[in-house]
Amino acid sequence: MTYALITGASKGIGRSMAHALASRKYNLLLVARSEEELATVAAELSARWQVKVAYLALDLSLPEATAKVYEWCKTGNYAVSVLINNAGYAVWGNFASRSLEEQQQMVRVNAETPVALCHYMLPMLQQQRQSYILNVSSTAAYQAVPTLSLYAASKSFLLLFSRALRQELKSSNVSVSCLCPGPVKTNFINRASMQAIQATADKYGMMPDAVAAVAIKGMFSKKAEIIPGALNVVSAFLTRLVPKSLVEKIAANLYKTER
C-alpha cells in the first residue's frame, strides 16, 4: 500500500484522519510541530493498525518547511498517493490589535504551505494509479468574519484554490477535494485563545472522528467540497442567499472579543 501524507497530524482532525486511513491499510507520513506528540501517535497507529508510520517534526510556518517535507519524502522513497493539508490555526482579535508577524505566520500555514505542498508533491502523486489531495478549509470560508478576518480569508483562499486545481486536474489521476468543517471539539479554541465562545463550540461542535470519517469518505468519493454535519451544510448554503452585510453582522456578534 502507498503512503498518505498528513500535516497537523498529531492531534484533532489530523490524528483522526490518520486512524481512518490506517484502518484502510494506508502507510502514513505524519507532519506536525511536536516530536513528542508525533512519536506517541505514530506508535499508537503502528500498533493498532499494523501499518508503516514515519513522522517529521517541523514548524510549517517557516518559509523553508515545505521544501524539507518534499526532500524527506523523496529521500525516504515514499510512494505518496494521498496528500492531506490539514495543518492550520486561527489568530483571534481585531486586525489592528494583533501583530502583523503573527498574522502572516498564520496565513503562511493556512494558505501558502498547502499551495507549496501541492506544487511539490504533484509529480509524486501523478506517478500513482490514483491519487488524492484533501485540503482542509472551514465553514468560515463562506463569509467574512470580523475578529477572524485573515483566518476566514485564508480559508476562503484555500477553498477557491482547491476548486481551481480540481478543474485543472480533472482529466488526470489526481482528485482534489476540500473539507469545510464547522466547529470541531479540538484544541483549536485554546490555541486561538477563543475561550469566550467555548460554550457555543461545546454545544454545536462535532467530534474529530466523526469529521474524519466524513472527510475520508468524501475524498475517496472524489467530492469537490465536503461539509460535515447537516447544520453546517445548511449554514453554508444560507450564506449564498442572505445579504452579505447580515451574514457579517451575525459573524461579528458570534465571534466578538468582548461579551
Question: Does position 203 have pLDDT exceeding 70, yes or no?
Answer: no
pLDDT tens track for 27-59:
999 999 999 999 999 999 999 999 999 999 999
For residues 206-231, give the mean pLDDT. 96
DSSP the chain: --EEEEES-SSHHHHHHHHHHHTTT-EEEEEES-HHHHHHHHHHHHHHH---EEEEE--TTSTTHHHHHHHHHHHTT--EEEEEE-------S-GGGS-HHHHHHHHIIIIIHHHHHHHHHHHHHTTSSSEEEEEE--GGGGS--TTSHHHHHHHHHHHHHHHHHHHHTTTSSEEEEEE----BSSSHHHHHT-GGGHHHHHHHPBPHHHHHHHHHHHHHTT-SEE--SHHHHHHHHHTTTS-HHHHHHHHHHHH-S--
Q: Quick one: pLDDT at residue 194? A: 59
Q: Quick one: pLDDT at residue 105? A: 96
Q: Which CATH architecture has domain 3-255?
A: 3-Layer(aba) Sandwich (3.40)
Question: Does position 18 have pLDDT exceeding 90, yes or no?
Answer: yes
- Residue 119 CA to chain centroid, in angstroms? 17
Using CA atoms, how far apart are residues 105 and 206, in angstroms rounded to an integer?
27
For residues 137-161, give the mean pLDDT. 96
Q: Quick one: pLDDT at residue 234? A: 87
Using CA atoms, how far apart are residues 174 and 223, in angstroms rounded to an integer?
12
Using CA atoms, how far apart are residues 134 and 39, in angstroms rounded to an integer?
24
Percent of the chain topping pLDDT 90: 79
- Residue with the bigger pLDDT between 202 and 39: it is 39
| Global model pTM greater than 0.85 | yes
- Residue with the bigger pLDDT between 194 and 99: it is 99
Q: Which residue has the cell 502583523?
A: 100
The answer to whether 184 and 205 are in contact (CB under 8 A) is: yes
| Residue 259: band (very low, low, confident or very high) from pLDDT cuts 50, 70, 90 | very low
Using CA atoms, how far apart are residues 21 and 232, in angstroms rounded to an integer?
24
Question: Does position 60 have pLDDT exceeding 50, yes or no?
Answer: yes
Q: Quick one: pLDDT at residue 50? A: 97
Question: Does position 193 have pLDDT exceeding 60, yes or no?
Answer: no
**Sequence ranges of the domains in the chain:** 3-255
- Residue with the bigger pLDDT between 18 and 237: it is 18
pLDDT tens track for 85-139:
999 999 999 999 999 999 999 999 999 999 999 999 999 999 999 999 999 999 9
